[in-house]
Amino acid sequence: MPKTSKVKKKVTKAKTKTVTKAKPKSISKPKGIIKGPIKISKTYVPKETEKYMCEKHKVFFRMKLQEWKKELVRANNEALYNGSMDDNSISADIVDQASSYTDKNVEMKAINRQIKLISEIDKALARIREDTYGFCLDTAEPIGLKRLMARPVAKYTIAAQEKHEKDEKVHADD
């Protein structure tokens, strides 16, 4: 009987060694991968003390832009719906017809401006995905949190924006 007990011990040890060899030495996570989605509170405001355009900043501005876009789309839809319901063009009075035409023209210009703004918001969201949001398209310098808070679709630093506006004015005068 002592011989069989020795055999069992050897088999047990062999199984233990096999299991130990099968385990990987260490599992390392690649750098730059986020553990999970970053969550921020609704009252969060980016701070100058935080690293510029850290993940919290990007999440904050993404949420701000998406909310702004949603409000603009809703307002445009309401304006278009209400505009189609309010039709005085069949009025007999020519002054009423002219007034109605002017009102609709003003509303359509406002809607067109909002559509352009929605396009700018989409471009800003794309820059967030590309990690270029918050940096000047001309100089690659940080635009600044204060400017982005005031104008989340800003593409240029204040100095670069002034230069662009000056160039546009010069070309418009030609």
What is the token pair recorded at 124?
């800003």
**Contact 137/159 with Cβ under 8 angstroms?**
no
Closest CA to 42 of 25, 54, 19, 59: 59
pLDDT digits (tens, 9 = 90+) for 8-46: 444 444 444 444 444 444 444 445 554 567 888 888 999
More confident residue, 120 or 93: 120
More confident residue, 1 or 103: 103
C-alpha span between 142 and 109 (Å, rounded) = 33
**Contact 164/156 with Cβ under 8 angstroms?**
yes
User: pLDDT > 90: what percent of the chain?
Assistant: 52
Burial 140-151 (b: 16+ CB within 10 A, else e): eeebbbebbeee
**Residue 96: pLDDT over 90:** no
Helix residue ranges, H only, 23-157: 55-85, 94-129, 145-150
CATH of domain 52-173: 1.20.120.910
> Quick one: pLDDT at residue 22?
44
> Quick one: pLDDT at residue 29?
45
- Give the lowest-confidence range in 42-46, 112-116, 119-123, 152-156: 42-46
Closest CA to 139 of 124, 155, 127, 150: 155
Domain ranges of the chain: 52-173
Which of the listed ranges 26-35, 104-113, 125-134 does the model predict with the highest average pLDDT? 125-134
**Residue 131: pLDDT over 60:** yes
**Contact 148/124 with Cβ under 8 angstroms?**
no
What is the token pair recorded at 168?
């546009």
**Contact 44/61 with Cβ under 8 angstroms?**
no
Q: 171: part of which helix (H) or strand (E)?
A: helix 158-173
State pTM to two decimals. 0.69
> Quick one: pLDDT at residue 173?
66
> Quick one: pLDDT at residue 35?
58
Arithmetic mean of pLDDT, 34-59: 86
- Give the lowest-confidence range in 9-23, 35-49, 138-152, 157-171: 9-23
**Contact 145/48 with Cβ under 8 angstroms?**
yes
> Quick one: pLDDT at residue 99?
86
Give residues with Cβ within 8 angstroms of 125, minimum separation 6: 62, 65, 66
